[in-house]
Amino acid sequence: MTLLQVRDLATHFFTRDGVAKAVDGVSFSLDRGEILGLVGESGSGKSVTGFSLIGLVDPPGKVVSGQILFDGADLVAAGEATLRRLRGKRIAMIFQDPMMTLNPVLRVDTQMIETVLAHAPMSRQAARERCRAALAAVGISSPDERLESYPHQFSGGMRQRVAIAIALLHEPDLIIADEPTTALDVTIQAQILSEVQALCARSGTALIWITHDLAVVSGLADRLAVMYAGRIIETGDTAEVIARPLHPYTRGLIDSVPQGKRHGAPLAQIPGMTPSLLRLPEGCKFRPRCPRADAACLVEPALAELLPGRRARCVHPYLEAAEEALAASC
């Protein structure tokens, strides 16, 4: 059942040098309990998409058009009071830096209990019990003791677990996680990923996991949306996209992930740089970096369904391998 439907979302930054179209016609949907990986290089518009969904884009940025239908209600048209009611309770955000969530001068119990009471009237004792359970659920041992600590008394990984526990306090319908494990070492990262996955499955929470690291989402997300220059350029089932990408940019991203079986071989790279949003090329925005580019790419392609459940924005997609695999599976 669809929880979130984003239609033709556009968020622009009105800077002195010009208008940066950070999100330019983004559409996707998310079912209840589904995990979507939003991936792409730095500057592709992942975070701005996440912030747009919960109305946290600050000037000079502004959502200029589109719809964000959350459980049927359009959040673009909603006022700040409605958004404030939804934030934390039905939609939660986890940031790369847990200190964007945590207050350094307050004990963890003070801030967690306040968060509970802000949206759910109950006794302080009941709120404390809910906080204790949330800390235990993200793998924090001795939660009673840890509730009485200040954020600086936790390691980076533990601080991020506390921030995740806060996001889960109200069992929200949707969590938007913006690179929450990027700063953590790989073992902690793997633990947190599997715990979040299990928690979402248990509570039916939908999750948008934003990352530049395809390896991170490949084992976590049900579906992928790949962003480039403010647009989604490919979407589909995670396993299918990773095994047989349709878009040359997605293929470039996958080929540039280090893999054991290619040990010793030079690491593939996508040539060139992410374009400046103020000076985008004509036609397909990936054209100057694309090995398949030709004159047909001077007209920007739409995000089209090229195979069942597989969409890509490309006039020369890698369809052969995907079609062969589809035929073999029938």
Ligand X SMILES: Nc1ncnc2c1ncn2[C@@H]1O[C@H](COP(=O)(O)OP(=O)(O)OP(=O)(O)O)[C@@H](O)[C@H]1O
Question: Is residue 35 within 8 Å of residue 26, measured between CB atoms?
Answer: no
Residue 181 binds to ligand X (criterion: CB under 6 A)? no
Residue 52 binds to ligand X (criterion: CB under 6 A)? no
Residue 22 binds to ligand X (criterion: CB under 6 A)? yes
Member of 21, 314, 318, 322 binding ligand SF4 (CB under 6 A): 314
Residue 62 binds to ligand SF4 (criterion: CB under 6 A)? no
Member of 175, 286, 306, 310 binding ligand SF4 (CB under 6 A): 286
- Report, in Å, the least distance between residue 319 CB and Mg ion: 31
Residue 212 binds to ligand X (criterion: CB under 6 A)? yes
- Report, in Å, the least distance between residue 189 CB and Mg ion: 17
Q: Which is nearer to ligand X, 22 or 108 (CB)?
A: 22
Residue 250 binds to ligand X (criterion: CB under 6 A)? no
End-to-end CA distance of the chain: 27
Q: Which is nearer to ligand SF4, 46 or 287 (CB)?
A: 287
Member of 94, 254, 293, 303 binding ligand SF4 (CB under 6 A): 293
Up-side HSE of residue 317: CA atoms within 13 Å toward CB?
A: 25
Member of 220, 221, 226, 277 binding ligand X (CB under 6 A): 277
Q: Under 8 Å CB-to-CB from 288, ≥6 apart: which residues?
A: 272, 275, 281
Indicate the helix (H) or strand (E) that contains 13.
strand 2-15
DSSP symbols for 16-70: TTEEEEEEEEEEEEEETT-EEEEE-STTSSHHHHHHHHTT-PPTTEEEEEEEEEE
Residues shown for the chain:
330
Residue 297 binds to ligand SF4 (criterion: CB under 6 A)? yes
DSSP 212: S
Q: Which is nearer to Mg ion, 47 or 115 (CB)?
A: 47
Q: What residues make contact with ligand SF4 under the rule CB under 6 A?
A: 247-248, 284, 286-287, 290, 292-293, 297, 301, 314-316
